Structure 1
Amino acid sequence: MSFKYIDVIKELINKIENSQLDVMEKVAQLCAETIIRGNILYFFGTGHSHMISEEPFYRAGGFVPVYPILETSLMLHDGAYKSTLMERVNGLSKILLEQSGATKDDIIFIISNSGRNNVTVEMAIEAKEKGLKVIAITSLIHSKSVKSRHPSGKKLYEIADYVIDNCGVVGDAAVQYENFEQKTGPTSTIAGVLIVNSVISRAVEIILDKGWKPPIFMSSNTDEGDEFNKKILQKYKSRIKLL
């Protein structure tokens, strides 16, 4: 019996830990400062990356002031191939960011394994023009191996203020077999979720060290969860439409 994927993920975690903690610490500090100011952490991703954007939202153990920018046409359930085409449309991100209500005092995580498509690059450009700090979670080795599809010729990592490498391989899938050309076992989702939750957990620790009480959700499936969350939600409902 062989579960090669588990070994691949163990190695991936080690790579992230050995190479990305410095930038993750800087991002965690930025998140802590943003939360203490009463501002919002925005998240955006398309295709499978939208799952990473949803991960920290309305989550047991997660920050309350989290706003995932979710667009149905960029998700798989509204048509998988359609979402691939929609990622390459110019002008959509400007609308999505404007509708979100993001301000210059907020920050945005943009998640894209390749970092090459129009919507992703445009979101980074528009966010920076608004004054938001942009954090990219991407595969540098993949992104550097392809051309940008955006008119600017730039890719996500070339625009972001902070770049966290998910340490994945070109093409995302990382498990290879003899006598079979295609790889399996994509790593970007596990890597992205690991990075996001690690940064958030560290940001909570930073906030506590500063003597503040961070706004964190409790599981609604505990007996006291509903009442606890109801009270904490009131402060942010006016800004986070999805709540």
Structure 2
Amino acid sequence: MAFRYVDEALRRIDGLKERQLPQLTNAANQLIRTLRSDGMIHIFGTGHSHLLAEEAFYRAGGLVSVRPIFIEPLMLHESAWGASALERDPDFAKTFMAAQPIESRDTVVVVSTSGRNPVPVDVANMSHAKGASVIAITSVAYTRSLSSRHGSGQFLADVADVVLNNESDVGDAALTHPKLDTPYCPTSTVIGATLLHAVIGEAIDQLADEAFPLPILKSGNVDGADAHNLALIERYLGRNELLK
């Protein structure tokens, strides 16, 4: 058996650090600034992109200061077709962004593979308006071959402070077969998660070198972790309501 997807995913991950070292460095440095300021790392995505917000939130070995922006109508489980339609609504981001507790010391990670729809672009712009820095995880290939659906004509990559390219093909699906007319098996999630953990890990490494105290959660399935995690939750609950 070939299991070609494993080979394709590894091919795309191989050399990722070398191809995007400046961008990865800039993103890690931004997270370092936020962590030094005791700020929050907010993560937002629509559709399957919201999976990266879940990926880093309340995670064993992860930072308790990661706060996902979960907007359920954009997350597929209520209505897959409806979520896709809402992402294109030029007014929808206004319905939830004003209430987000984003501060100037924070970083907002906005995930959108196409980066062409209004909601992710508006989330980035509204985060800037609150004084936060924005890291985009997106596919640069879309910006080179398609038009934006945002009224400004801009893509997410155009409005972010740092752009991490998930290097997905237009359409995301990575495998083809001569007997099929549609590609299949997307790569945006596996590459996006790799990029996200890479910059968080680098930020932790550099701050740990300085003996900077870091709010890292332990696995709840390791003996003695509960007291450690509860102390962190009590410290951050006022800024991350999802920890309750």
Query: In which range does the TM-score fall when normalised by the shorter chain?
Result: over 0.9
Provide the aligned C-alpha RMSD in A. 1.1
| Counterpart amino acid of residue 99 in structure 1 | A
Map residues 1-243 of structure 1 onto 2, 5 A cutoff.
1-243=1-243
Offset of residue 16 of structure 1: 1.8
Using the alignment, how far apart are the partners of 2:129 and 2:177 within structure 1?
46
Q: Which runs of 5+ in 2 are unaligned?
A: none
**Contact 1:135/1:160 (<8 A) preserved:** yes
TM-score (norm 1): 0.96
Using the alignment, how far apart are the partners of 1:155 and 1:234 within structure 2?
38
TM-score (norm 2): 0.96
Using the alignment, how far apart are the partners of 2:103 and 2:17 within structure 1?
32
Using the alignment, how far apart are the partners of 1:221 and 1:99 within structure 2?
34
SS in structure 2 opposite 1:242? helix
Using the alignment, how far apart are the partners of 1:93 and 1:104 within structure 2?
19
- CA 1:171–1:15 in structure 2 vs 1: closer, same or farther (change >3 Å)? farther
SS in structure 1 opposite 2:182? strand
| Counterpart amino acid of residue 159 in structure 2 | I
Q: Which runs of 5+ in 1 are unaligned?
A: none
- CA 1:167–1:15 in structure 2 vs 1: closer, same or farther (change >3 Å)? farther
**Contact 1:15/1:167 (<8 A) preserved:** no
Q: Percent identity?
A: 37
Offset of residue 25 of structure 1: 1.5
SS in structure 1 opposite 2:242? coil
SS in structure 2 opposite 1:110? strand
Query: How many residue pairs are counted as aligned between the two chains?
Result: 243
Once the two structures are superposed, what CA deviation does each residue of 1:78-114 show, in whole Å capped at 9, x if it has no partner?
1110100110112322332221210111110000000
Using the alignment, how far apart are the partners of 1:229 and 1:143 within structure 2?
41
